[in-house]
Structure 1
């Protein structure tokens, strides 16, 4: 059902030759897609020792007990046990497969460990996304000094990336479903004393007009987000709307916020970059959301290659857990509810450009080859010291051929605190292939929803 023949790929490549002059790869290079590479650009083969298996199509069958209407996905690997654990005592044995942030957490937080499980390459996306990705391979190109992408639609823009900016645009355009909703999300902070505090609560909707197959014209909007807050009490009634374009240089992010105390909607130009994000209680920046989002103009992004790294993966037991008091420990997430696996990731080093201002001087992103989600990041302060390592918690929506990795968070090595954002818990994640009415995405609609 989800196979694309070599004939289909060949015809697509031939039809796109005219656009290959300024494309990321040649038609000859693009023939790797569906051969040695998956149709989104991951290495199809497993690694040498078999600890990373061959990609065989991902997870597309729900396990027993799944109720689609709830949007809560049972762990398909619930019966599996960890292969081994890594902590401060044995971390040197696995150092080459740990991010700098993971190693720092093991060194500084007594008891921090990762439980490593068998690797499952569960990512699967619709056939339409695969077909569009093949087209994009020879048609998409960077423009405006690498700050925008042209010629891409409804698929991964650069499945065979040649630069850090291309990898980051693949991440920004990652397929998460045309539309998905967290009917009831939570954000929690844990301060240096170990106190667990609710930082945000509400409904969160994300849509990707970029993947809307019903329109023939080139998309102008990449992603749009809307959060309607119901908690804590001081934030009840607030609402935030942000729209990110395909062309960041030509349009830029547009954002609005509704404050019930003021009873008006106002433009929110500061809802970007390193402005503290109130949804994290100020523990993170706006562009920390999902580990990164927004425009690429503050940093130089250098592609450092690929590595095999232990990262949180297939985190069903954590993502849909309904007991925050058991999940969030006084210094770190309870290791027993987190699953870590070995996966190949693209490594992108981001250095702050001369003349630009940001609280981070350097960021190292680890981008999953199968899904193009950023799954880990190491962030450094102005002195060049590791400050905020972060992770995204990825799981396949096996009923919808989409990937959920919206839930993410960072540890603050200086403050001894951490947070998690957009945790769906038992509220679930609901994925749709249709967009909400355009009226839902207007500033005026925020005022109507913001009722205490």
Structure 2
């Protein structure tokens, strides 16, 4: 007789998705008129978006691993600015969240530069994506995937769920050690930095992985607070599953006060994300993460928009954090926006569930599947928060990921920023990590 776990696994494997893998004819478009990840290889008709020609394939002159990444486009000239005065001219190219930032903050503006389609990934990720196009499927009513262990699972997406899974599973390297700071900037402009050491070990996307090897595991993650001294030593551990309905995310918290490791009963959906001053829910970390089951997902389509991109200036080494953190917004003089095509996906809260964000709209880069921005609405349809991701190509990997993320609270006139690393050692993408470093026992050992 099958036990309960076996029955659940069998049900998940047999569940069908409304749309899934594509046929060989469609898959053959990858690497031809489509990029290896499924973006449009060609530029747009006006020329404001150029063709994709492989992205950054070599670091700029003078760069050596371990440095903060030099700006390959430092010689680019600003094309124009968008502000509250000329907003009407560019409204169709901006997210509602970006429009609100401009309208509510007269000193905020967008510095728009020529579009550089700089996204690139290792060839093995492109190869895996080509395989996935004909084999990957949504399972368990869209709460999991099968048939993929690396690469973009749905490079030619048929629905909103497939698009959001492309973001959740996007390539972020294999392991990573980093030291970053985060802050909640209050309406007064005051803030305190929280400094953390962070480690991540990615299972999905790891070289040599097969779908059978994943064991429903996406990645392992932990952080330890370094400063301020009154919080130093507190830590969080996460074991991230792929299908979080079948097996929920496992999380533990080490409290330096009583020096005990406690299992968190829930770190998902609308629960507060620790150490974010109440500004971030668990599922706004990385803009969206976790199970998609509480929302209905709609693929709106693809749009040309002005979005953060190639944000090397705000990434530069030695930049004082007080210069980055403005009173109401990030310092616009350090931010770069470009014209790019983005996938637009809307998530509407299902009947019977509660969440402060009843509707969410996401804007995903066609070249990397990184979410670049999101709009967050309450149950009355009011825009209450917005997120912006300022990415770079970490060309020593290579991969596209954020250097700084900001979550703006329009009601509280405050914002939360994460990823400040300008005065810390640069990320180590070859850190000596293994799954044994991400257990409650390891958390307890390291905390004592």
Q: Secondary structure at the match of 1:121?
A: coil
Change (3 A) 1:132 1:21: farther
Contact 1:320/1:428 (8 A) holds in 2: no
Alignment correspondent of 1:328:
325
What is the CA distance between 1:90 and its match in structure 2? 0.5
Alignment correspondent of 1:122:
118
Question: How many residues are aligned here?
Answer: 430
Alignment correspondent of 1:189:
184
TM-score when normalising by structure 2: 0.92
Moved more, 380-389 or 429-438: 429-438
Moved more, 207-216 or 237-246: 207-216
Alignment correspondent of 1:66:
63
Q: Is residue 380 of structure 1 aligned with residue 377 of structure 2?
A: yes
CA–CA distance in structure 1, aligned partners of residues 298 and 45 of structure 2:
27
What is the CA distance between 1:109 and its match in structure 2? 1.2
CA–CA distance in structure 1, aligned partners of residues 404 and 289 of structure 2:
13
Q: Secondary structure at the match of 1:203?
A: strand
Q: Is residue 34 of structure 1 aligned with residue 31 of structure 2?
A: yes
Alpha-carbon deviations, 1:383-418, whole Å to 9, x = none? 210011111111001122122226312111111111
1:261-280 alignment, distance < 5 Å: 261-280=257-276
TM-score when normalising by structure 1: 0.91
Alignment correspondent of 1:409:
406
What is the CA distance between 1:21 and its match in structure 2? 12
What is the CA distance between 1:234 and its match in structure 2? 3.3
Alpha-carbon deviations, 1:123-174, whole Å to 9, x = none? 1111111111001001011111111111111111000001111000000001
What is the CA distance between 1:22 and its match in structure 2? 7.6
Change (3 A) 1:153 1:235: same
What is the CA distance between 1:279 and its match in structure 2? 2.5
State the superposition RMSD in angstroms: 1.9
Q: Secondary structure at the match of 1:166?
A: helix
What is the CA distance between 1:438 and its match in structure 2? 2.1
Q: Secondary structure at the match of 1:29?
A: helix
1:283-302 alignment, distance < 5 Å: 283-302=279-298
1:48-447 alignment, distance < 5 Å: 48-70=45-67, 72-182=68-178, 184-198=179-193, 200-216=194-210, 217-220=212-215, 221-321=217-317, 322-405=319-402, 407-432=404-429, 436-447=433-444
Alpha-carbon deviations, 1:320-360, whole Å to 9, x = none? 45311111111111111001111111000000110011111
Moved more, 355-364 or 209-218: 209-218
Structure 1 residues not aligned, in runs of 5+: 1-18
Q: Secondary structure at the match of 1:174?
A: coil
What is the CA distance between 1:20 and its match in structure 2? 12
Moved more, 225-234 or 130-139: 225-234
Change (3 A) 1:137 1:433: farther
Q: Secondary structure at the match of 1:88?
A: coil
Change (3 A) 1:135 1:90: same
